[in-house]
Amino acid sequence: MGTEIVAQVGTEALKTVLFVSAPLLCIAIAVGLMVSIVQAITQIQEMTLTFVPKILALMAGLFFFSNYMIDRLLGFTQGLIQMIPVMIR
């Protein structure tokens, strides 16, 4: 197995991780920013207040983006399995 194949597989793995995690990370950042703005406006500085909206938003995001995430992971896995004969040589 040459270094080109290892670099290609590593690059595809990093892209897959980025594309799979990006929707949920963006949701968490957006909800966290909104909660921080509301806390700054109302001057309520309760630390546990940030967790419930984030968890609910991430659960909703996981529900909506799960098909996309599974398709991305399956595509990567199928490509990796198809490359096994090339990797063995």
pLDDT digits (tens, 9 = 90+) for 23-67: 999 999 999 999 989 888 988 877 778 889 999 999 999 999 999
Give the chain's domain count: 1
Q: What is the pLDDT of residue 68?
A: 95
Q: What is the pLDDT of residue 6?
A: 86
- Identify the domain containing residue 49 by its residue range: 3-88
Q: How far is CA 87 from CA 13, 23, 48, 74, 82, in A?
A: 15, 32, 49, 19, 10
What is the C-alpha separation between 29 and 9, in angstroms, rounded? 29
Contact 28, 57 (CB under 8 A): yes
Residue 35 amino acid letter: V
Look at 5 and 65; give whichever has higher pLDDT: 65
Q: What is the pLDDT of residue 1?
A: 66
What is the C-alpha separation between 54 and 31, in angstroms, rounded? 6
pTM more than 0.85: no
What is the C-alpha separation between 36 and 32, in angstroms, rounded? 6
